[in-house]
Amino acid sequence: MNLWFRLFLMLFRRPWRKPVDALATTVIRLRVWPLDLDLNRHVTNGRYFTLADIGRMDYVLRSGAFRVALRNKAVPIVGDTWGKFRRELKLFEAFEIHTRMLGWDEKWSFMEHRFVSKGRVVGVVVMRGVFRAGKGTVAPGEFARELGLAQQSPPMPGWLTDWSQSCNDMSRELREEEGQPARRPQTVE
């Protein structure tokens, strides 16, 4: 099934879906269609990341994050993603995407998308991203405060902070290869 159609279907259902707290888990239900498959006849690895976008859009709309973004004239930007695949999803198999906010640091917000089929987690996509406005990045703590949360992030697991640090290290190495100086992002508070 075309991803645009899935997105429009999710948006069409939105008026009947209840708003959620920003630390709640949202769930969308989908099915594997022929265009989701690779030559091995299961969902292609890259499709998980694309489907996670639909789960994230549902979360952003239901949690009210889109209102905060509009007030700040900001757009969401994905910085890095990581995936863990445990079991394949096959043609016509029903599955759910469980999306939740894991936490935030001084620059990034972290989200998790769990792909669940028959009560089992078959894959996980983790994303770190920012909301960028014309004046710079909206500080995640400030964004959280506008969502009605504490500015301090809930504790994040060690694997998540280690992964984030490895992404920072890779970015630094790439800048050095290109001869660019290290930089600190602008934040809007």
pLDDT at 38: 87
Closest CA to 37 of 86, 90, 105, 107: 90
Amino acid (1-letter code) at residue 110: F
pLDDT at 1: 43
Tens-of-pLDDT digits for all 189 residues of the chain? 457 666 666 666 655 568 899 999 999 999 999 888 888 888 989 999 999 999 998 999 899 999 999 999 999 999 999 999 999 999 999 999 999 999 999 999 999 999 999 999 999 999 999 999 998 999 999 999 999 999 999 999 999 999 999 999 999 999 999 987 766 656 665
CB-facing half-sphere around the CA of 181: CA atoms within 13 A:
3
171 neighbors 180 (Cβ within 8 angstroms): no
Residue with tokens 């694309």: 50
Question: Which CATH number does the domain housing residue 164 bear?
Answer: 3.10.129.10
Q: Helix 3-13 crosses helix 45-63 at what angle (to 10 degrees)?
A: 20
Query: How many domains would you assign to the chain?
Result: 1
Q: Which domain holds residue 177?
A: 3-188
Closest CA to 96 of 126, 120, 112: 120
- Kindly state the helix (H) or strand (E) to which residue 8 belongs, with its residue range: helix 3-13
The Cα 143–Cα 131 span in angstroms is: 9
Token digits for 135? 């004046």
Token digits for 162? 């280690």
144 neighbors 153 (Cβ within 8 angstroms): yes
Q: Which letter, b or e, does each residue of 98-132 get, where b requires 16 or more Cβ atoms within 10 Å of its Cβ?
A: bbbbbbbeebbbbbbbbbbbeeeebbbbbbbbbbb
In sequence order, what DSSP letters do the residues of 29-69 get, joined into one string?
EEE--GGGB-TTSBB-HHHHHHHHHHHHHHHHHHHTHHHHH
106 neighbors 144 (Cβ within 8 angstroms): no
